[in-house]
Structure 1
Amino acid sequence: MTPLDKIRNFSIIAHIDHGKSTLADRLIQTTGGLTAREMSAQVLDNMDIEKERGITIKAQTVRLEWKGYELNLMDTPGHVDFAYEVSRSLAACEGALLVVDAAQGVEAQTLANVYQSIEHDHEIVPVINKIDLPAAEPEMVRKEIEEVIGLDASRAVMTSAKSGIGIEEVLDAIVERIPPPKGDREAPLKAMLVDSWYDPYLGVVILIRVIDGVLRKGQEIQFMAAGTKHLVDRVGCMRPKMEILPELAAGEIGFITAQIKEVAQTRVGDTITDSKRPALEALPGFKEVQPVVFCGLFPVDANDFEKLRESISKLRLNDASFSFETESSAALGFGFRCGFLGLLHLEIIQERLTREYDLDLITTAPSVIYEIHMNHGAATIELHNPADMPDASRIDFIEEPWIEAVIYVPDEYLGSILKLCQDRRGIQKNLTYVGGRAQVTYELPLNEVVFDFYDRLKSISRGYASFDYHQIGHREGDLVKMNIMVNAEPVDALSMIVHRGTAEARGRGMCERLKDLIPRHLFKIPIQAAIGGKVIARETIAAMRKDVTAKCYGGDISRKKKLLDKQKEGKKRMREYGSVSIPQEAFIAALRMGDDT
């Protein structure tokens, strides 16, 4: 049993791609957690997507030994979609390493997580990474940390995680500056559930931080928020390989397994206690994770529906924050309506389904949760799918979710960024300068952001802008459902909820795109965007024509007219009874390009 004053629990805070996982690798290597032969790049990122994109999706923990101290490192996700998971990981620690890229400086996500860390009363150790890059300006970054965040950076540790410079200094700083955990080993068991994942052999593996008491194998535990009881069959820690331990005591971080079959039963932030001698109250800060963005996932080949159901169920085993239910569409057949924490989460799930389960998918345009207030004091409805929108005459008003976004951008791109936010119905709240960069705070409707706002932001600023947001509640908006009709038939998969002010431009853009994507038929095809009964945009695909007068030569003009009239009748009849087959590629392209007006 390690004495409390010899334990240090810390996490690493950084923006995406500032070298967090590389620094974790070096710390593991320096403390002898893995031999050189077992070492691989980004040890703690065990998904292919994590390694390729340089992002962390699941929190990981590793126990290191350094000069007689036990160091527990929490590798947290760096993206805004996983903000709640980050807050729980930070709550399990007493300190944090703030990693800032010496070439890029402080970015939006760094700030968001640092402020969370400060709220948890953490001791923060600034680490300036990548000092060996030609573009590195460590002194400027040191100043920026002091000006922007207000932390004393005079003792910031200078490192290059890739080259292994300054790693021992980082370990010494952790031991010296981060306080040991507090906790009473004699008190009733109280542990925080930090994260969990599914292992095909062990069931659900639960990552925990013991606050008070001791947790042993064979103990019956209770989840206070979920109310379920389980028998612990394995207790251990990650080094980063699993190591079985006899017990985990107050102040320690490790894992347990208890023959739990579904990750959904283990909610992040829940309090674990002893069922025979329970704690009096749960740990603060627990909340249910709610999906924010919804979209439909349909298999390109209708025969893959069962395979998709199976694949989604398997993914759900590992990711409780992702929800799904079946839905059917006249145009796309059977599929699932899925809920995600944000756009990155949506992209990751989609990519994992495509890669790990070999599925070709069509994703409908992402939408958010709207609150629809019905007439005459009737109930309020939550709308996830634009196709389910009730009749406009029954609606009193609609509320949509809004976010507060903080954007950091170099001065030369500021004008374009302000225009982008203005075009997306943004309300500017603040504009300040931090060194050579502007910090803009905007309030924006979430449905304007979920399409391609992030991509546009990156392309306008050549990748230099960083963006962080949090939700600030629902507000009333002049929103309407826009239907897309092909040959007078509404295509439900393309319907979307838009603001009345931008509906015409969005409708025109969609019609123009579909005109290029749908192949010509033997009859004329009108493509229309409509709000209720009013058509707001139209494009027409011309018919493929056969020259019926080719065989008619000489004689009176009435002979040609007769043949053309006969053809016209046939075309008219065809338009009435003919069905337009929209190829799957057209759907994919139309939905992918979503919104570029």
Structure 2
Amino acid sequence: MEIRNIAIIAHVDHGKTTLVNQLLKHSERYDAHSQLDDRVMDSNDIERERGITILAKNTAIIYKKYRINILDTPGHADFGGEVERIMHMVDGVLLLVDAYEGVMPQTRFVLKKALEAKLLPIVVVNKIDRKFADIQRTVNEIYDLFIDLGADEHQLDFPVLYASGIQGLANYKPHLDMDIKMEPILDTIIDFIPRPNQDETGHLQFQPALIDYNDYVGRMGIGKIYKGKMTVNDTVSCVRMDGSIIQFRIQKIFQSMGMEKIEVESADAGDIVSIAGLPDIHVGETITEVGYEDALPHLHIDEPTVQITFLTNNSPFAGKEGKFVTASKIDERLFKETQKDVSLRVERIQSSEAWTVSGRGELHLGILIENMRRENFEFQVSRPRVIVKQIDGVKHEPYEDVQIDCPSEFMGTVIEMLGERKGDLVTMKQIGDYSRIHYTMPSRGLIGFMTQFLTATKGYGIISHIFLDYRPVVYDTVGNRRTGSLVSLNSGMTTAYAIGRLEDRGQMFLEPRVHVYEGMIIGEANKDTDMVVNVTQEKQLTNMRSAGKDSTVVLRKPRLMNLEACLAFINDDELIEITPKNIRLRKALLRANDRKKAFYNETNE
């Protein structure tokens, strides 16, 4: 059976996973009586809720006696490292572009990686049935992008197809035909994408580009067999990144078919498989025959740019809501995450119950926090901060390439917000009622920006950003909160009477009848300094009759603070307490006197 290996690449939310769903339905192994879930490749609960792909996944379909291995890649910039490594496993890419949004920053990033890897592209203009879709403009933008990125003549001779992933329709022409399903895309893959450069008679060479984890067999490497054949129970060599060699026995080989992983006895050159047997297999290592340890070029793994400190929960409410609260359990869970996610770094802070966790962005780390919360862990996290590097004795920080689309009426506010966060305007253009602006700015300026941006644009704005490079640190402070916090004076339960009296001092985060403790943040002050307030005060009950009739207290609705809002809100001296039932904000030092001493010592240093 001939093989085709292809990756589906696109900007976030341009329809990759939905298209894979439709392609799976055209597999000769697909049972028409079974029902595929919507976006079936997004197996994680958070992926389904947010509608994004977090980790790359591989599947395969049988079509016209061809085995087509398909890799569904993440579209978000925080998970761009996965896309880069996948390019080494495939022989072509399916580039999806939304007919309404056109070329976006992540479109440029993923296509650049594909062209650098000398892969042949097939372009699919998706969502052509979307209202206000401009197909011709999108196609022109795609050609301009290919030329900008220096595509060679062979790569510029790409086929263009038109599709609606949600309807499961595709065509060679820019209109849809209800009788033509996904066949044009599948036929083009078979005809246009070359077969793998496979050498079945050579000595084994296999390189994992992704890591999976299974509770039964442990860590597994997912990659392409470049040469030779692989069989269960074979003893093979692993050439490590440092050049050392270790031998192990292949315990299991898995091939993907539809939504299942099928255990096989052997696999040949050109195929994409998962193998188990080496407990600490890493991305970029080479698995070879014993005695023929010829290593493949190392794969690049993107360095983390943002880090957060994880701590065990030491608040007065510690241990009341979570199941896993000890340092050993948190340490074990963070280590398990590094087994799957090669872009994550975890380092235990000596002599403390704290860990420095580094990742590719705020979203990357936020999803880890949310997953642990849902698994009944209880812990605390600090404010996200960028990783600063020393290059030639000078401090450098990461910069981002930022593109924003929003209604023109909000453009002035957005430009002012980006200016405050030290962004530099590159280009600006208007498309109908919308404006598109292109900025470069420090990554620090984007931490906590999303929540403010969506509020300022009333939810209509779209922001896309991608890591650019490291540049010298120019500004001391970028993107810090200008307002103080309302901090609880004592422990107890909030009352409507106390909240009503404090509403003119800021915006509350809590309703009445909620348990609080001393040092817990209960709102945002309307001044630039913290205010310690009594939010548990009860109304004095006396037998004295008031001159006027008591009126019913009508409280303003408190601001809803989810995890993203909390990460955006906190300053360096504040923490987020994460439990399965609640997300609370608190001061790192709970007692007011301790905070005063720390401030005094800091100002006198």
Shift of 1:172: 0.7
Is it true that 1:347 corresponds to 2:366 in the alignment?
Answer: yes
Equivalent positions of 1:364-403 (< 5 A) are 364-371=382-389, 399-403=395-399
Is it true that 1:182 corresponds to 2:186 in the alignment?
Answer: no
TM value normalised by structure 2: 0.70
Corresponding residue number in structure 2 for 1:70: 67
Shift of 1:208: 1.0
Match of 2:169 among 158, 165, 168: 165
Shift of 1:433: 4.4
Which amino acid in 2 is paired with 1:282? L
Is it true that 1:200 corresponds to 2:200 in the alignment?
Answer: no
Corresponding residue number in structure 2 for 1:559: none
| In structure 2, distance between residues paired with 1:233 and 1:194 | 19
Shift of 1:434: 8.6
Is it true that 1:409 corresponds to 2:405 in the alignment?
Answer: yes
Shift of 1:41: 2.2
| In structure 2, distance between residues paired with 1:421 and 1:144 | 26
* 1:404-449 Cα deviation digits (max 9, x unpaired): 3131425725444332222111233x31649667664433222222
Match of 2:247 among 217, 229, 245: 229
Q: Could you say what secondary structure the match of 1:266 adopts?
A: coil
Contact 2:428 2:436 in 1 (8 A): yes
Is it true that 1:336 corresponds to 2:350 in the alignment?
Answer: no
Contact 1:148 1:434 in 2 (8 A): no
Which amino acid in 1 is paired with 2:163? T
Shift of 1:328: 9.7
Shift of 1:108: 1.9
Contact 2:221 2:274 in 1 (8 A): yes
Distance 1:454 1:538, change over 3 A: closer
Which structure has the greater CA radius of gyration?
A: 1
Corresponding residue number in structure 2 for 1:560: none
363-372 or 90-99, which moves further after superposition?
A: 363-372
Q: Could you say what secondary structure the match of 2:25 adopts?
A: helix
Q: Could you say what secondary structure the match of 1:106 adopts?
A: coil
Which amino acid in 2 is paired with 1:342? G
Equivalent positions of 1:254-265 (< 5 A) are 254-258=273-277, 260-261=278-279, 265=280
Corresponding residue number in structure 2 for 1:522: none
* 1:489-541 Cα deviation digits (max 9, x unpaired): xxxxxxxxx35xx77xx4x513567886799xxxxx9x9xxxxxxxx964554
Is it true that 1:87 corresponds to 2:84 in the alignment?
Answer: yes
| In structure 1, distance between residues paired with 2:204 and 2:236 | 11
Contact 1:362 1:588 in 2 (8 A): no
* 1:437-475 Cα deviation digits (max 9, x unpaired): 76644332222222x123334444534433122141241
Corresponding residue number in structure 2 for 1:249: 268
Distance 1:143 1:70, change over 3 A: same
Is it true that 1:319 corresponds to 2:336 in the alignment?
Answer: no
Shift of 1:367: 1.1
| In structure 2, distance between residues paired with 1:305 and 1:471 | 38
Corresponding residue number in structure 1 for 2:229: 214
Distance 1:284 1:202, change over 3 A: closer
TM value normalised by structure 1: 0.71
Which amino acid in 2 is paired with 1:344? L
Which amino acid in 2 is paired with 1:22? T
Alignment: residue pair count: 487
Which amino acid in 1 is paired with 2:383? A
Corresponding residue number in structure 2 for 1:305: 326
Which amino acid in 1 is paired with 2:20? A
- Where do 5+ consecutive residues of structure 1 fail to align? 374-378, 381-397, 480-497, 520-524, 528-535, 551-581, 593-597
Q: Could you say what secondary structure the match of 2:584 adopts?
A: helix
Contact 1:10 1:94 in 2 (8 A): yes
Contact 1:97 1:125 in 2 (8 A): yes
Distance 1:76 1:512, change over 3 A: same
Contact 1:85 1:268 in 2 (8 A): no
- Where do 5+ consecutive residues of structure 2 fail to align? 148-154, 171-181, 320-324, 489-504, 511-518, 522-526, 543-574, 589-605
146-155 or 198-207, which moves further after superposition?
A: 146-155
Corresponding residue number in structure 1 for 2:41: 44
* 1:281-309 Cα deviation digits (max 9, x unpaired): 43254347446322334436434234434
Contact 1:7 1:251 in 2 (8 A): yes
| In structure 2, distance between residues paired with 1:404 and 1:345 | 16
Shift of 1:322: 2.6
| In structure 2, distance between residues paired with 1:583 and 1:130 | 40
Corresponding residue number in structure 1 for 2:463: 466
| In structure 2, distance between residues paired with 1:153 and 1:410 | 34
Which amino acid in 1 is paired with 2:252? R
Shift of 1:543: 8.1
Corresponding residue number in structure 2 for 1:282: 296
Contact 2:402 2:441 in 1 (8 A): no
Distance 1:417 1:219, change over 3 A: farther
Contact 2:387 2:398 in 1 (8 A): no
Corresponding residue number in structure 1 for 2:497: none
| In structure 2, distance between residues paired with 1:242 and 1:266 | 19
Distance 1:238 1:153, change over 3 A: same
Corresponding residue number in structure 1 for 2:592: none
Which amino acid in 2 is paired with 1:509? T
Corresponding residue number in structure 2 for 1:295: 309
Corresponding residue number in structure 2 for 1:273: 288
Contact 1:188 1:273 in 2 (8 A): yes
C-alpha RMSD of matched pairs (Å): 3.9
Shift of 1:73: 0.6
Distance 1:121 1:288, change over 3 A: closer
| In structure 2, distance between residues paired with 1:205 and 1:146 | 39
Corresponding residue number in structure 2 for 1:509: 483
Equivalent positions of 1:442-461 (< 5 A) are 442-450=439-447, 452-461=448-457
Is it true that 1:109 corresponds to 2:130 in the alignment?
Answer: no
Distance 1:277 1:152, change over 3 A: closer
Shift of 1:198: 1.0
Distance 1:320 1:112, change over 3 A: closer
Shift of 1:203: 1.6
Contact 2:28 2:63 in 1 (8 A): no
Contact 1:96 1:122 in 2 (8 A): yes
16-25 or 143-152, which moves further after superposition?
A: 143-152
| In structure 1, distance between residues paired with 2:455 and 2:529 | 30
* 1:230-252 Cα deviation digits (max 9, x unpaired): 22122231003122334332222
Distance 1:234 1:136, change over 3 A: same
Shift of 1:112: 1.3
| In structure 1, distance between residues paired with 2:224 and 2:282 | 14
Distance 1:457 1:537, change over 3 A: closer
| In structure 2, distance between residues paired with 1:420 and 1:345 | 24
